[in-house]
Amino acid sequence: MNTSFVIGIDFDNTIVCYDTIFHTVCRERGLIPDSVPVNKSEVRNYLRRIGREDDWTEIQGYVYGSRMAEAVPFPGVKEFFRTIRLAGMALSIISHKTLFPFKGERHDLHRAAYDWLDQQGFFKASDIGLAREDVYFELTRQAKLERIAARGCTHFIDDLPEFLSEPGFPAGVRRILFDPNNLYGNREQFGRATDWAQVRRFLSC
């Protein structure tokens, strides 16, 4: 790996996997049948098909707040962070995240995300040792783009092709689409990885 790389990584659905917790919460509330796959995208799409968009919006705030501790890291992401840190490369988490949910109970979503990172060992010197100052939760998509530029990222990893396709995306940044559920096979304009081992291979090129 090139030690001059500056890596930026999105948070939700890129570092954090919500598949099981979203399925669990929707089953608890009787909103989905057990036949819906344990996959956040499938749960969302099912609720939208049956006209429960408002429920989906409220559940997102609930999961990202009260139930955040039950979310898990994607397999291999902590190993990726350790590798990058040991190689001496700069790395930041840069995410677009509102401070409070759009609907439902009021939770501080930024605090819940920081607490999750702490609980998972990202800030522990004996584990990953990421500095809190290298984590940015931006209130708007534009602020996220500006942060990527300000940090001088050479690479950015995100799960949303629409964000990576933004006209204002900083020039010269290599964009990697994290696609663990293989939803975007037709997005050839980006590097595309279905797991964190593939992300590592992109950075080894």
pLDDT in tens, 164-175: 999 999 999 999
Distance, in Å, from the CA atom of 98 to the CA atom of 12, rounded to the nearest integer, reads 12
- Cβ contacts of 193 within 8 Å, gap of 6 or more: 157, 176, 177, 178, 179, 199, 201, 202
Q: What does each C-alpha distance from 4 to 83, 88, 148, 155 come to in angstroms? A: 14, 9, 16, 11
Categorise residue 129: left if φ over 0, alpha if ψ from -120 to 50, beta otherwise.
left
pLDDT at 142: 97
Instruction: Write down the mean pLDDT value for the chain.
Output: 94
* CATH 3.40.50.1000 location in the chain: 6-17+73-204
Query: pLDDT tens, position by position, for the chain (205 residues)?
Result: 677 899 999 999 999 999 999 999 999 999 999 999 999 999 999 999 999 999 999 999 999 999 999 999 999 999 999 999 989 999 999 999 999 988 878 899 999 999 999 999 999 999 999 999 999 999 999 999 999 999 999 999 999 999 999 999 999 999 999 999 998 887 678 899 999 999 999 887 4
DSSP 122: T
Domain topology for 6-17+73-204: Rossmann fold (3.40.50)
Task: Enter the tokens of residue 2.
Answer: 């090139």
